[in-house]
Structure 1
Amino acid sequence: MVIKKRHWALPTVPLVVVLLAATGCVSTPSAPAEPTVAPSTSGARSLARVCAKPAAGPAKAPAGAVTVDPAVVGDLAAKTKKSPPNTTFWLRPGKHRLESDRYAQIIPKKGNTYLGAPGAVLDGRKTNQYAFGGAARDVTVRHLTVQGFVAPQNEGVVNHDSADGWVIEHATIQNNSGAGLMAGARQQVRASCLRGNGQYGMNAYKAGDPLSDLVLEGNEIVGNNTDDWERRRPGCGCTAGVKFWAVNGADVRGNWVHANRGAGLWADTNNNDFRIEDNVLEANDGAALIYETSYNAVIRKNTIRRNNWVVGRKYADRGDNFPFATVYLSESGGEPRIRARTDKIEIYRNVLENNWSGITLWENADRFCNSPANTSSGDCTLLVPDTDRCVQPAIATAPLYADCRWKTQRVDIHHNRFVLDTSVVGCTVECGRMAVLANYGTYPDWTPYPGERVAEAITHKQHNRWHANVYRGPWSFIAHDPSRKLDFGQWQGTPYQQDAGSTFRARDGG
């Protein structure tokens, strides 16, 4: 059973504000030439419409496959148990059921393959908790609908035990409680529909073991968090279309991530080496993307539109002045000492259109390893394997930016197009902000990281840079702390010197 501790970023500003907020053989393509202008808006990426048009499975059993009969309750689990590893199972059309015991599930053997015929559904009937579990590696699930399972919070229905090397292709995993899918190392999820699950479409988390080399490609991830966990447990940080925890190496490409009740994609706590590219992220209640206490990523060629309206408006209407972002980097940055395909966070050639605000780079001065304000409790940075280095009083003698804290640094934001039409977004308060800022940290009282110095560092000393972008609409800019609101000229001028080579036109959506 997976039991997750609470992980959450607290953007502590003068009034504390809680932001609600994959191996494949991963090639390393050379970076494309930078465009002289940012990409055009509207329809920049095709949509992975796999929920409406799922690919059909084989109408006949492949040679050597074991046929599974939907009329026999528990037939799939029983035949899996009797068959050797590397067996292929073909599920006939119809609803397949497990025994009525809530813990009944299929326990695959190494190398098993499960193929669904057209119309094959594995249905938990709101009775069974898990569909596929166990530790077997290299299992494949294709052309199968999995629905109606009731996994507990933070647990998952398919690959419940986060076994390694699974391949999920042309599957529909829908209308389950908990997470539709868990992840193990080297897991590949392609051309699948992760829809309407109670908490996550996928929860990439493995107890006691960091994951590596995930691929998430060409999927539709829609309408997840139907159980509205942030309302039931405020501040839990436990929702998203997909949540990643301590994943080292992920390619997230060509997905349509939309209409999730919360964030679209959320990488939380010691993730590293992500490529998030060619996705359409739209109409998610919260941020399109949160990258939190994590390292080294390329975020490029994504279309990001109409996100964060619900969460952004909720807090703005309360009078909070924190720049709630559609792309939110919280204590995350490039770190050359951690091996990855890049040594920075590079955000480029994206289109952000009619979202609630833009990109915020944030660093919580109170958040460091072993601080009581560190909501990733029990976790230290990837640079400090021995957490005893980060306890009082040892940390009190450390340099300001010792390795005990996550830093928002080496973020390069360029050749993006930012479009805002306030009549589309329906703004009644300000909804178009870019920001780089920190809070004035004061907690705990023995902190060695004075907030004023943290704010100065993230703003001026940690190589965070906007340049060569296009802005259309009434954008404003925040630097250092929430009180410093800047116009475009001030943002470009001394001392901030941001957005060199960028163009700005204030007319809405122009």
Structure 2
Amino acid sequence: MGYALLRNGFAHFTDRTIPIGAFTFIAGRLALLRSGCLIALSASAPCLRRTNLPRALAIRRTIKLAAWLAALIWLPAQPALSGPVEEPCPADAISILPDEPIQPAVDRAEAGAAFCLKNGIHRSQAVRPRKNQRFYGEGRTILNGSRILTDFSREGTYWVAGGQNQQGRRVGSCVRSAPACNLPEAVFVDDVPLTQVLTKDDVTSDRFYFDHSAGKIFLANDPSAHKVEVTVAAFAFESTAPGILIKNLTIEKYASVGQKGAVQAQDANGWVVENCELRLNSAAGIAVGSGTRIRDCDIHHNGQIGITGVGHDVVIERNRVFENNTREFNPNWEAGGVKLAVSSNVVMRDNRVYDNRGPGLWCDIECRDVLYEGNIAEGNSEAGIFHEISFAAVIRNNKLRHNGLGKGGFWGNNLLIAASQDVDVYGNELIVSAGKCGVILVDQGRRTKSGALYKTRNNHIHDNDMIFEGAVCAGAASDVGPDNANADVIETGNNRFDHNIYRISRGSTPVRFAWGRTVLDWDRLQHAGLEQNGSLLVH
């Protein structure tokens, strides 16, 4: 069980500081303030230290927070701890100090060697592991892909750093308001990322311009009293070698290019990433390959997406994946929490995926045998779980809340199955924002590479419990014309809704249940053979 302390409007958990507005979940659990300290909800042990909060103030905050907790109807269980933990490296590990280069030690060592990256900042390191090598941190070990800038000169109203020759590939699609999202170079001032712009005239206090032809970075404000960093390394770990273990490391500020990770395992087999924190990287935190295991990690504030990749036999479990796509890549291209493609035998289990710009958990393009189980997805701008142009999947026992806020109509939903078949959806609990939808199937008449049509068929939606804060919105919609070969696949393709519970407040507007190209109310959907054992509960 982890502990946190409350000081001066911030929650402190181990070596991390979180604004109070974000401390609803600390180390993945709800937290409760108790006289002068903050403890995990299920913890019974006393606080490790006392804060400077006056007892009366602490009690008032305790009462206020307790009342807030009591008002919640949705109390998810999560892992006790994710991210790095302080523990010693294995006894046989080769020690590497923060100021020592890692790659020469890797090259000298045998396959299967273990390395202990000592506490501190290992700056601008890019490692290509050999077969079965293992990399351990001590809990406060940071791999940082940037270097510090100290030499600035004045050019007119700008502060300029010269001699900057790094330039990564530009990959990916951006939203209109962030046209430079896919330029991988990044600048941080006191650990806060600046937004890159395309012209010098657009530079402001929170924006920078990189003139690659001149090798110059332009800032608006005097940097002399601040820590300024610029990314120089594209990855922390990348290799085709199998069997790599990465554990207890913080990996930050790498200039990963679109669809690539600071940990780039996509071209290898059997990599394991455990108890790591991946943050502030330009594109993805981690790119998975076949046999990848990602467990107990915090993956957040990455520029494009938390986890991406392609592979067979992939397990992603007990992670927190949150507030990714900070650079505003276009989610219709690829952005958000987790997206795998052309993957099979995938397990996404017991993750908490929240506040990402894009879908929460997403498998796209010929995915097969995917299990989404026991996850919590909330506040993602698109679907909490999204299974797209793919095949067999089980989506069970997940908690989905207030997703789809960035989309309208039937696309603004919590659970979306698009142009896919043989999906079993059950045991899920949903809280749906007003104007948004619960479970939605959609057929788009999309074609495979061979020209065949993907068909939305043989999907079974049953035994789910949905709370709607507005009108009921769910069902299966056709997005093709009447002359399309898929025109009636929703109605004739053995898509079934039954034994689901739909909960609404008295006075809500009528039920909107999509069925093909029509929208049905409750009586008409039952008359169509749907929800014969389902329930519409008004309270």
Report the TM-score, using the length of structure 1 for normalisation. Answer: 0.71
Q: State how far apart, in whole Å, the 1-side matches of 2:385 and 2:134 are.
A: 33
Tell me what 2:132 maps to.
111
Tell me what 2:33 maps to.
none
Partners of 1:352 and 1:417 within 8 A in 2: yes
**1:44 CA displacement:** 5.5
Give CA deviations for 1:23-51 in whole Å, capped at 9, x if unaligned: xxxxxxxxxxxxxxxxxx94353124645
Tell me what 2:467 maps to.
419
Give 2:441's match in structure 1, choosing from 356, 361, 376: 361
Give 2:520's match in structure 1, choosing from 480, 483, 486: 486
Give 1:300's match in structure 2, choosing from 373, 377, 396: 396
Write the letter of the residue equivalent to 2:262. V
Give CA deviations for 1:395-442 in whole Å, capped at 9, x if unaligned: xxxxxxxxx1111111111110010123xxxxxxxx641121213438
Give 1:56's match in structure 2, choosing from 67, 75, 85: 85
Q: How does 1:101-140 map to 2 (within 5 A)?
A: 105-125=126-146, 126-140=231-245
Tell me what 1:188 maps to.
293
Q: State how far apart, in whole Å, the 2-side matches of 1:228 and 1:362 are.
A: 26
Q: State how far apart, in whole Å, the 1-side matches of 2:461 and 2:370 are.
A: 16
Q: Is the aligned partner of 1:197 residue 2:297?
A: no
Partners of 1:241 and 1:257 within 8 A in 2: yes
Which secondary structure does the structure 1 equivalent of 2:488 belong to?
A: helix
Partners of 1:331 and 1:407 within 8 A in 2: yes
**1:236 CA displacement:** 4.3
Q: How does 1:240-319 map to 2 (within 5 A)?
A: 240-309=336-405, 311-312=406-407, 315=408
Which secondary structure does the structure 2 equivalent of 1:138 belong to?
A: coil
Q: State how far apart, in whole Å, the 1-side matches of 2:246 and 2:397 are.
A: 30
Q: State how far apart, in whole Å, the 2-side matches of 1:88 and 1:304 are.
A: 40
Tell me what 1:168 maps to.
273
> Which is greater in Rg?
2
Which secondary structure does the structure 2 equivalent of 1:79 belong to?
A: helix
**1:157 CA displacement:** 1.1
Give CA deviations for 1:207-234 in whole Å, capped at 9, x if unaligned: xxxx21100110001111111111xxxx
Tell me what 1:227 maps to.
327
Ranges in structure 1 where 5+ consecutive residues have no aligned partner: 1-40, 100-104, 206-210, 316-320, 335-344, 370-379, 381-386, 391-403, 423-430, 443-449
Which secondary structure does the structure 2 equivalent of 1:252 belong to?
A: strand
**1:160 CA displacement:** 5.0
Write the letter of the residue equivalent to 2:428. N
Write the letter of the residue equivalent to 2:456. T
Tell me what 1:446 maps to.
none
Same amino acid, percent of matched pairs: 25
Q: State how far apart, in whole Å, the 1-side matches of 2:398 and 2:410 are.
A: 25
Ranges in structure 2 where 5+ consecutive residues have no aligned partner: 1-71, 147-230
Q: State how far apart, in whole Å, the 2-side matches of 1:360 and 1:280 are.
A: 18
Q: State how far apart, in whole Å, the 2-side matches of 1:440 and 1:170 are.
A: 45
Q: State how far apart, in whole Å, the 1-side matches of 2:127 and 2:334 are.
A: 27
Tell me what 1:95 maps to.
121
Q: State how far apart, in whole Å, the 1-side matches of 2:447 and 2:519 are.
A: 27
Tell me what 1:503 maps to.
535
Tell me what 1:329 maps to.
417
Matched pairs, number: 377
**1:361 CA displacement:** 1.0
Q: State how far apart, in whole Å, the 2-side matches of 1:174 and 1:295 are.
A: 32
Q: State how far apart, in whole Å, the 1-side matches of 2:361 and 2:530 are.
A: 27
Q: State how far apart, in whole Å, the 1-side matches of 2:99 and 2:347 are.
A: 40
Which secondary structure does the structure 1 equivalent of 2:532 belong to?
A: coil
Partners of 1:191 and 1:218 within 8 A in 2: yes
Give 1:46's match in structure 2, choosing from 77, 80, 83: 77
Write the letter of the residue equivalent to 2:380. N
**1:322 CA displacement:** 4.3
Q: State how far apart, in whole Å, the 1-side matches of 2:77 and 2:317 are.
A: 13
Q: State how far apart, in whole Å, the 1-side matches of 2:394 and 2:376 are.
A: 16
Give CA deviations for 1:472-509 in whole Å, capped at 9, x if unaligned: 1144211111xx2211111111xx2111111102x4xx
Which secondary structure does the structure 2 equivalent of 1:128 belong to?
A: coil
The 1:169–1:489 alpha-carbon spacing in structure 2 relative to 1, beyond 3 Å, is same
Q: State how far apart, in whole Å, the 2-side matches of 1:56 and 1:82 are.
A: 28
Which secondary structure does the structure 1 equivalent of 2:238 belong to?
A: coil
Partners of 2:455 and 2:486 within 8 A in 1: no
Partners of 1:361 and 1:437 within 8 A in 2: yes
Which secondary structure does the structure 2 equivalent of 1:489 belong to?
A: helix
**1:191 CA displacement:** 0.6
Partners of 2:259 and 2:309 within 8 A in 1: no
Partners of 1:90 and 1:114 within 8 A in 2: yes
Partners of 1:48 and 1:220 within 8 A in 2: no
Tell me what 1:435 maps to.
475
Write the letter of the residue equivalent to 1:136. A
Higher percent of residues as strand: 2
Give CA deviations for 1:80-120 in whole Å, capped at 9, x if unaligned: 12111101000111001236xxxxx2010111110001210
Partners of 1:77 and 1:107 within 8 A in 2: yes
Q: How does 1:403-482 map to 2 (within 5 A)?
A: 404-422=452-470, 432-441=472-481, 450-451=483-484, 454-459=486-491, 461-473=492-504, 474=508, 475-481=511-517
Which secondary structure does the structure 1 equivalent of 2:237 belong to?
A: coil
CA RMSD, Structure 1 to Structure 2 (Å): 1.8
Which secondary structure does the structure 1 equivalent of 2:102 belong to?
A: helix
Task: Compare relative contact order (CA 8 Å, sep 6+) and give the higher one, 1 or 2.
Answer: 1
Write the letter of the residue equivalent to 1:93. N
**1:240 CA displacement:** 2.1
Q: State how far apart, in whole Å, the 1-side matches of 2:326 and 2:132 are.
A: 33
Give 1:351's match in structure 2, choosing from 413, 426, 429: 429
Partners of 1:434 and 1:477 within 8 A in 2: yes
Give CA deviations for 1:347-397 in whole Å, capped at 9, x if unaligned: 0010011342111111113x223xxxxxxxxxx3xxxxxx3xx4xxxxxxx
Report the TM-score, using the length of structure 2 for normalisation. Answer: 0.67
Q: State how far apart, in whole Å, the 2-side matches of 1:44 and 1:291 are.
A: 26
